[in-house]
Amino acid sequence: MTKERIMIVEDEKIVALDIKDSLEHFGYSVPCMASSGEEAIRSVNECKPDLILMDIVLKGKIDGIDAARAIHKNCDIPVSISPHTQMKKHYKEQNSPNRLDIS
């Protein structure tokens, strides 16, 4: 049985490492990580993850939500956006795409 592949998009590398470690501890595969929205969009095709964990606040010009939208245009990968109270409220108001899972 192949492991589910999860991509982590997080600009704080240590935090990203922590998440990766935890996920691998739970038995998932984390083949690639990105620290900016642009990088995530670039590497999503090579990496082909089953799920993307996306932080909202990122380096670079675009935030997590915009990056998730861009990814959704090209492929059908669920994106989980990390909890962030204010943002959550903000994006729920904006009728965000169904596959954007704001947990």
Partner 1 sequence: MATLHNKILGIIGATLIGMIFIIYLSSHFIIMDSFDKLEEKEARENAIRLENIMSSEIQSLENKAADWSVWDETYEFVQSNDTQYVDKYLMDETFFNQRLDFMLFYNANGKLVFKKELLTTEANNQSIKGLEEHLKQRSDLLEHEDNSSRKTGFLVFAGQPILVSSQPIVKSDKSGPIKGTILMGRVIDDDEFTRLHEITYLELDVKNISNYNENNASNAVYAGNNEEKIITHILNDDIHIYSYAQFNNIYGADAFSLEISMLRNIHQRGVNTINYFLAILLLIGIVFGVTIAAVLEKSHISRLKRLENEIRNIGDKGDFSRRVNYEGNDEIASLGESINNMLESLEKSQDLIIKRDITINAILQALPDMMFQIKKDGTIRNYKLSTDNCIYESPEAELSICLDDVLPAHIAKKELEIIEQALRTNQMQTMQYTMPVKGEMRDFEVRVVASGKDEVMAVVKDITEIKQIDEMRRKDILLKEIHHRVKNNLQIISSLLRLQSRKFTDKDTIEAFRKSQNRAKSMAIAHEKLYQSQDLENIELEAYIKTLTKYLLNNYGYKQEDIKIDIKIKNVTQGIDMAIPLGLIITEIVSNTLKHAFKSNKGQIQIELLPENDGFYLLVIRDNGIGFPEDIDFTNTDSLGMRLVVSLVEQIEGKIELWRDNGTEFRITFKELSYNRRDY
90 three-class SS: helix
Nearer to partner 1, 86 or 95 (CB): 86
Nearer to partner 1, 25 or 61 (CB): 25
**How many CB atoms are closer than 10 A to CB 37?**
26
Dist CA 5 CA 3 (whole Å): 6
Q: Considering the complex, what minimum distance in angstroms separates the CB of residue 86 from partner 1?
A: 5
Residue 84 Cβ vs partner 1, minimum distance, rounded to whole Å: 8
Q: How far is the CB of 51 from partner 1 (least distance, A)?
A: 18
3-state secondary structure of 75: coil
Phi, psi (deg, nearest 5) at residue 50: -85, -25
* Interface contacts to partner 1, rule CB under 8 A: 12, 14-15, 17-19, 21-22, 25, 85-86
